[in-house]
Amino acid sequence: MAFHADRLSISPSAGPDRRAALFRESLAEAAERVTLGLAWGLMPARISGLPNLARLCFHEFLAPNYALPDPERALDNPPGLAGIVHDLTLPILLAAYRRGLYPLAHVAPLKWWSPPQRSVLLFKDFHISNNLRRLMRQDRYTVTFDRDFERVIAACAGRRQGRWHLTWITPRIMRVYAEAFDAGHVHSYEVWNKAGELVAGGYGIAYGGAFTGESQFAHEPNASKVGLAVLSWHLAKQGFRFFDGKLIGSFWASMGCREIPRPEFLAHLAEAMRLPSKIGRWQVEADLTTVSHWQPATGS
């Protein structure tokens, strides 16, 4: 979706029409998303999975199965495809995460996924480089939680310089995660510069002792790492068991995430689900200087 920079200047007091203004997609934007999504799906690395996807869609058309799929029976090709999303209500969304599933699709239909390798951050492994520690002590940024979820998710869906505008964060996705935010299950982190501008952020969903990061953005170098450091400090201090990054990438790997096989992830998830969910708005409990002194390996 073509979320333009001027939309990021909308005030938090914009009123009840604010989400309608942010969570929309024109016909041209939808056509661009579908076109790029099809091109992405037809790339050589992914095209071999199309026959299995077509068969799954055909079976679901003949006999729709509204039950959440078994994550351990996800397909090998496309890797992790577990089923088709028929109903994306808040209760179904929460139940899916508790089973190890998440929804994603660049092109309809929306699908449930349980990848064979999962990107997981155990907080003792969180990596704070010396450069990041220095940056946090320079009084250049302020980090907040749950202050401007709408602008964060809109920015996550927005264009990235030098990259195809390929996004799975559609208006449908935005609306259900906004509902989860209102209910206290989804949380955003915001990074503000000294001029009071939103320059980085991200959002994710908390359930039991687990937190799944959905997306993040940054308009200034390393600003998103500042936000993620504060978020990870908060999750560790609040007793969360792990941060789920879903699929590994260079950014997540640089912060300490590692790939683990699905059975190991589901075992971590089962342990995390024994803990009560922390529902409601979050507050940042420490300033950046305090977080910059955090030693994750020792828990201090």
User: Using one digit for the tens of pLDDT, what is the confidence trace for 195-223?
Assistant: 999 999 999 999 999 999 999 999 999 99
Domain containing residue 237: 120-292
Residues 111 and 145 both lie in one domain:
no
Examine residue 298 and state whether it is found in any structural domain, yes or no.
no
Residues 135 and 64 both lie in one domain:
no
CATH number of the domain at 135, please.
3.40.630.70
Residues 106 and 126 both lie in one domain:
no
Examine residue 300 and state whether it is found in any structural domain, yes or no.
no
pLDDT of residue 61: 87
Examine residue 98 and state whether it is found in any structural domain, yes or no.
yes
DSSP-assigned states of every residue in the chain: ----GGGGG--TT--TTHHHHHS---HHHHHHHHHHHHHHHTSHHHHTTHHHHHHHHHHHHHS---SPPPGGG--TTTTTEEEE-S---HHHHHHHHHHT-EEE-SSSSPEEE--SEEEEE-GGG----HHHHHHHTTT-EEEEESS-HHHHHHHHTS--TTS-------HHHHHHHHHHHHTTSEEEEEEEETTS-EEEEEEEEEETTEEEEEEEEESSTTHHHHHHHHHHHHHHHTT--EEEEES--HHHHHTT-EEEEHHHHHHHHHHHTTSPP--S-----S-HHHHHT--TTTT-
Residues 89 and 171 both lie in one domain:
no
Q: What is the mean pLDDT of each run of 10 residues along the chain (300 residues)?
A: 32 57 83 85 89 92 92 96 96 98 93 97 96 96 97 90 79 95 98 97 98 96 96 97 94 93 98 96 96 92
Residues 69 and 157 both lie in one domain:
no
Residues 134 and 102 both lie in one domain:
no
pLDDT of residue 16: 55
Residues 279 and 159 both lie in one domain:
yes
